Amino acid sequence: MTVASKINALVIAIASVAGCLIVAYTAVNEYYSSLDRIVEQSSATLTSRPSLQLDVYYRDSAALEKTLSNILAKSPAIAFALARDPDGELLASSLQLPGSASQLPSFAQIRGDVSPIAQVLKDRAISSPGISGLVEHLYDLTMPVISLINPTDANVSRAAFRQAMIDPSQVDSQYVIGYIHVGISRLGLLRSTLPAVLMAALLALGFVVLCAFFSGYITRRITAPFSRLVRVADDISSGKIDDSVRLEGGGELKEIFSLLNMIMGNIHTYKAKMDVDHQLLSMKVEERTAQLSRRNEELNKAVKEVTETKDRLRQLAYYDSLTALPNRRLFTEQLDLLLRLAKRNEEMLGLLFLDLDNFKRINDSLGHSAGDLLLREVAKRLSSCVRESDIVAHYVEASARIDVSRLGGDEFTVVLNQLDKPESAGTVAQRLIAALIEPMTIEGHELVVTPSIGIAVSPRDADDVEGLLKAADTAMYHAKSSGKNNFLFYNQDMNAAGVERLKLETDLRKAIERDEMVLYYQPQVDTVTGSVVGAEALMRWQHPEQGLVPPFKFIPLAEEMGLIGTLGDWCLREACQQMIEFQGKGLDLPKVSVNVSALQFNQTFIARVGEVLKETALRPSRLELELTEGIMMDDTQGTINALNQLKDIGVSLSIDDFGTGYSSLSYLSRFPLDLSLIHISEPTRLC
């Protein structure tokens, strides 16, 4: 900000503060002046009516209401006016503001703890019906009506009362014969001050504008020579020194401009001498440069050939030929150096071990060429989504970065150096998962791949390459076992989990022989009619020691061990047999749904379906087979033929978990499915 701007800002600020103070003073003064006027005018109205005492004494409601209406006419801020006798009985009332009827004060509020003959102004908070939830304030003005006649003397005639008022010397006592109460709204007072406040605000605004105008005019006059001086200095700094500076101002400014002109003259002289020396030097340099140029060209050519050869050899030795990422050799060498550096500096280093879920299925279904293209796309997404600040602050060799590496197959690693905290590695893992689950088009197929990521942190989990890599690999295996498409940090309990898994494998081989498998049934309800239209058979393992083992633990284990076919056959036969038993007990379910794994879907399975239906005598129409989306990807034509065979048998076919894999709705149209039975993007259900 320039000096002129600062001066103008200061003047405007001072003028604005002064204007605000004037407006505030005007508002406060007008507020209390309005209140005083109302009090004075109300009192004057009462004193100006000599018949008021007579009206109160004889309870003339019509005359009292006329007097009260005159009071209300004095100001729109008056909410109501009341007339009461000495005992508090209401004689007359007049209301002006809406809703004020519910805010009339009681007689106790009028009297309070004050003298009965004193004029009193009180502040009272009320609930405003017009502004819901807000609190309004009223000023309660109480004015006693004084008479010379005792209000308890009922034998006084009107003529005697008038005579007493005309000639007060005949009596020596005063009596309170009633009260006039006026309610004054604070909001009404504020509204009455608005014209004065607006006028003060306009005057204040005009004052600020006038101050700003004069301030700008004066500052421009004062700072103009300085601005010219700044422009001249900028021209000199940019090399524009061809023209002399015109003198402006007097005193110190004149001396400064004269000094600038002298400096510019000296620069001109020096520049001319330098131009001559430069020409002589250039002639000598050009001759020598021509000789060196020829030799440099020959040398550069030789160096280029050697460098290119070296780069090709290094690329082959240290980088993956498919994805161009660092391979296992470069990864191991650099990680060892980074670990030693981190240990010396007492820093944390994170390693993310990433494995693609179900990649073998894509390779087997679409071919290795599609798999290679998918791996290249995965490498590109991993490299682009990992920020520079997340990865490596420094390397031993600038050209040997291992932020993202491919160890082989569908295994990738990400190295995070100089971690501030272990949780930061989890943030990067979430970003990697989000990047990979975005659909990618490979050879006309829309594919979705999910990763399982294991995270190990040095030195917490290990301080060497082998130990850290093993820890991250173990964590990745547990992430894959726990449902895939997630990440887990390594912990010591995972080693114990490996032992537990080995025991679980042993027990699973004997589970069917020991009759430990049971079926649970989940009803299928028509949301329109509310009736049960079927049930889904869900397999559970009743372990003698661990209790009920959830399917996400033993189903993937059975698939890896090659037992899924045996379990699937048992589930199919048991579901069909129990349907017949249910029917015999009077529970006639329309159909039963059985989930089918991609690993058990083959010609043998199709024949097994026919055998089970024949053995159990279950009608084929009462059996529904829920196929996983992965079945649709394997041997498309063979799958269509197999599905047609099942449809010929008479069973219903549906897709379970549609939308979690690689298919599209147009792709599904090729298969003989019962489209009404497609389950879209539901959590995986295992029988």
Q: pLDDT by residue (tens digit) across 33-48?
A: 888 888 888 888 777 6
pLDDT in tens, 380-399: 999 888 755 444 333 434 44
Separation of CA 672 from chain center? 44
Query: Can you give the pLDDT at residue 397?
Result: 43
pLDDT over threshold 90, residue 188: no
Residue 117 has pLDDT above 80, yes or no: no
**Statement: residue 659 has pLDDT above 60:** no
What Å distances lie between residue 230 and 245, 253, 265, 380, CA to CA? 12, 12, 19, 52
Q: Indicate whether 75 pLDDT > 70.
A: yes
pTM of the predicted structure, to 2 decimals: 0.40
Say if residue 369's pLDDT is above 70: yes
Tokens of 322: 């498919």
pLDDT score of 551: 84
pLDDT of residue 685: 44
pLDDT, mean over the chain: 80
Q: Mean pLDDT throughout 146-167?
A: 67
Rounded CA separation 454/487 (Å): 6
Q: Is the pLDDT of residue 481 over 90?
A: no
Lowest mean pLDDT among 198-212, 224-238, 305-319: 224-238
E strand or H helix at 311: helix 252-318
Q: Measuring CA to CA, how many Å separate 157 from each of 80, 315, 574?
A: 32, 127, 113
For the chain, what's the residue count? 687
* Across 589-613, average pLDDT: 85
Please tell me the least confidently modeled range out of 55-59, 251-255, 543-547. Answer: 251-255
Query: What's the pLDDT band for 64 if we cut at 50, 70, 90?
Result: confident
Q: What is the pLDDT of residue 680?
A: 42
Which of residues 666 and 74 earns the better pLDDT score?
A: 74
Q: DSSP strand E in 96-197: where?
A: 120-127, 135-147, 175-185
Cis peptide before 459, with omega less than 30 degrees from 0?
Answer: yes
For residue 317, give the nearest of 303, 333, 302, 304 by alpha carbon.
Answer: 333
pLDDT cut 70: percent of the chain above it: 79
- Token pair for residue 272? 């001319």
Mean pLDDT across the stretch 123-146?
66
Q: Which of 18-22, 374-378, 629-633, 659-663 has the lowest mean pLDDT?
A: 659-663
Q: What is the mean pLDDT of residues 84-113?
A: 73
Q: Residue 513: is it exposed, middle or buried by C-beta count within 10 angstroms (0-12/13-18/19+)?
A: exposed
User: Distance of alpha carbon 370 from its chain centroid, rounded?
Assistant: 38
What does the pLDDT read at residue 93?
Answer: 85
What pLDDT sits at residue 662? 44
Continuous segment of H or E residues that includes residue 452: strand 451-458
> Of 637, 634, 629, 623, whose CA–CA distance to 668 is shortest?
629
In which residue are the tokens 């889904």 written? Answer: 536
- Range of weakest confidence among 331-345, 492-506, 661-675: 661-675
Structure confidence at residue 347 (pLDDT): 92
Residue type, 193: T
SS3 203: helix
**Which amino acid would we find at residue 645?**
Q
Query: What does residue 485 show for φ and ψ, rounded to 5 degrees?
Result: 55, 45
**Mean pLDDT lowest among 386-390, 431-435, 604-608, 611-615:** 386-390
- Residue 250's pLDDT is 61
Residue 489 has pLDDT above 90, yes or no: yes
d(CA 137, CA 183) in angstroms, rounded, equals: 10
Q: In this model, does residue 354 exceed pLDDT 80?
A: yes
pLDDT of residue 109: 67
CA distance 686 to 613: 21
Residue 454 has pLDDT above 90, yes or no: yes
CA distances to 62, 327, 446, 662 from 432, in Å: 87, 19, 19, 19
- Distance between CA atoms of 170 and 153, rounded to whole angstroms? 16
The C-alpha atoms of residue 381 and residue 438 are separated, in whole angstroms, by 10
pLDDT of residue 676: 43
Distance of alpha carbon 136 from alpha carbon 130, whole angstroms: 10
Read off the pLDDT band of 418 (50, 70, 90): confident
Whether the per-residue pLDDT at 297 is higher than 60: the answer is yes
**Range 648-662 average pLDDT:** 71
- Residue 195 preceded by cis peptide, ω within 30: no
pLDDT at 632: 59
Six-digit token string for 396: 């031993």
* Residue 345 clears pLDDT 50, i.e. is over it: yes
Average pLDDT value for residue range 49-68: 82
Q: Tell which residue, 515, 534, 514, has the closest CA to residue 524.
A: 534
Q: Please give the pLDDT value at position 654.
A: 84
Indicate whether 660 pLDDT > 80: no
